[in-house]
Structure 1
Amino acid sequence: MERIGFALPVSGPWARPENVRRVATRAEELGYDSLWTFQRLLYPVGHQMGPIYRSVHDPLITLAHVSGLTREIELGVAVVNAYVPPVLLAKELATLQTLSGGRVLAGVGLGWLEEEFQATGVGFEARGRRGEEYVELLRACWNSDPVEYKGEFYQVPASHLDPKPETAPPVLLGGAAERALRRAGRLADGWVSASRENLDTIDEKISVVRAAAEEAGRDPATLRFVVRGVTKVRLERGGPLTGTYAQIAEDVAELFAKGVTDVFHDLNFDPEIVTASPTEAMARAEEALEILAPSRPGEFGAE
C-alpha cells in the first residue's frame, strides 16, 4: 500500500499553534494518510547543527493536540530517541493510541546527540543492545499483565501497567547502518529513514531489512518502509524531492517503485522554511500541502 503524509510545523518560527492546527485539519481534508513530528530535545551551545534543530516542539504533545482535531489520519513520530525511559514512553503512547482511536505510528531511534543522553542521565554507550531491549519492553508494557522485565539496561518489577491500548502501536525503527537495518527487520514493524538518507539507493536498505525479517521467520510484506521526505520546492532540480512540484511527484512515485510504503513531506527540513518569517513559511507550506495532496495525482502540469 502506498501512503503519503505531511509533517506538522514543529521547527522554527513557523511552528505556531495556529499553523499546527491548520496543517493537521487541512491535511486530513485533502486525503493525506498521516501527520508526522520529530524529536530534538536540546541544541548544545557551540554545535553547528543548523536552524532546523534550534527550536523544536515536543513531538508527542504536538500529536496529542492534533489528535483531538482530526478523526482518521495517522499520527506518526519519526523518531523518539532511546534516552526517554521506555516505560514512560509506553504509557504516553498507549494513552495517545487510545484517545486517538488507534492512529499512532511509534518511530523509535537510538539517538546520535550525546548531550541529550547526558541531560537525561542515560548512557550513550551500547545503544544497539539498549535499543533491542527498548522495543521488547515497549511491547511488554502494551501486551503483558503483569509486566515484568529483567534486562541489561532495564528492569521492571512485576507490575500492572494499565490501561492497555486495544491495538499496540506499530513500532518503526530508525538507523542507517547494516546492523540497525537488520535489527529493524528482526524486531520492528517497519523502518523509517533519516533526514540525510540517500534516496537514490534506498531500495538497497529496504532489501537488507526485508532479508533480516525473512531470516527471523517474519513476513516482510507486513513491514512499513517510511521515508522522511526532505521536500524542497524549487524552480530547478536539486536531487530527490527537490525541484518543481511535478518533479517531486515523480520522485515520490519512484520511491514507491523501490519498495517504500510511506512518504511524508517534511518542510521542517527545508532551511528556506525554518528561516523565513512565519507568514511566508506558512504561505509556502500551504501551497505545497494543497498541490502535493494524494487527491491530486497527475495534476501538476508543467510547474
Structure 2
Amino acid sequence: MADSNFIDYVKFCSRSGSGGAGAAHFRREKHVPKGGPDGGDGGRGGHIILRGNAQHWTLLHLKYKKHVIAESGKRGEGGRRKGADGNDVILDVPLGTVARDAETMEFRTEITEDGQEVILTRGGRGGLGNDHFKTSTNQAPHYAQPGEDGIEEWIILELKLLADVGLVGFPNAGKSTLLSSISAAKPEIADYPFTTLVPNLGVVSYRDDKSFVMADIPGIIEGAAEGKGLGLRFLRHIERNSILLFMVPADAPSIEEHYRILLNELEKHNPELLDKARILAITKSDMLDEELMEEMKKEVPKDVSSLFISSVSQFNLDALKDLIWQSIHAT
C-alpha cells in the first residue's frame, strides 16, 4: 500500500509583502517656527523564504498551502521614524528540494543543507520619506515615495532525494529486500510489481562506524521516461544519487539486455545520469550453484563493476558494501 505521507511535489501561490509608504511629514514643535521635513521611510515587505530542515523528509506539510502570503511593511512616521518591516514567512523544506517558476518551469533555487535559507519571493522595498527629497531649492517637499508592490507568483517545489546510492531496477528486482537486509529501513515487500510506491531511504552501516545512505527508488519499466508506469515522478530522485546500483535478477532472460534497457530509460530521462558511477548487482543468486554462476558471468556486461548477491542468504552483501564504499570515495 502506498504511503500517503510521502509528498514530493507541491504547487502554491507565493505572495510577498508590499513595502510601506514613506511619510510626508514636517516638524511641528512649539519653539521651532520653521520645522523642516522629517518623514520616515516605510518598512520592507515580508519575504517568502525557504529553509532547509533535515528533520523533514517530505513536502506533506505544504500540500494544502495553496497560498503563502507575507505581511506588508508599515508606513513611515514623523520624526524620521521608519515603519516596521513586514514579517517574513519561512517554509521549512527537506534537503533536496528544488523550486521552479510554475509558469516557465525556470529553475529558481535548491536547498541542500540543513539551516540553509534562500529568499524565494522578495518583499517590496519601503518608500522613502520626504526627508530624503529636501534640496536647496525645495526646502519643504510634500512628496514621499509609495512602497514597492510585493510579488505574486506560482511556485512548484519538487523533492529530489539526497542519497549516496540509488537503486535502479525493474519491479521485483529485489531492491526493497536489499535495503531491508543491509539497513534499518523497513520498506514494504510483496511479490507483486510496484511494491515500492514511494522512495525509501536507509542508512547502511559500514566498517569503523562509517555509513552511507541508500535510496530504494520505485521500479522502472520500459517507457518510464515517457511517463509509463510510475514514470518521471520517481526518475527525478535518481538525479541526486552519487552512485547508481543497477539490480538485475539472476532469472532474467538476459542480464545484459535487462541492464541496457534500464540504461536506455535513464538516458532518455536525463543523459547526464550516464556520467554517474555504476555498479551492477545480479540479485537472487541463492538460486544458482557455483557452476551456473561461472557460466552466467559470461553474460554480464564488461563495462561495469558487477557482483552476484543474495539479500535472503546475505551472500556477497559485505563485498557489495565494500564496492559501494570504494565507488563513493572514488567519485
Q: Same fold (TM over 0.5)?
A: no
Judging by fraction of residues, say which structure has more strand: 2
Query: Which structure is higher in RCO with an 8 Å CA cutoff and minimum separation 6?
Result: 1
Calculate the TM-score normalised by the size of structure 1.
0.31
TM-score by length of 2: 0.29
Greater helix proportion? 1
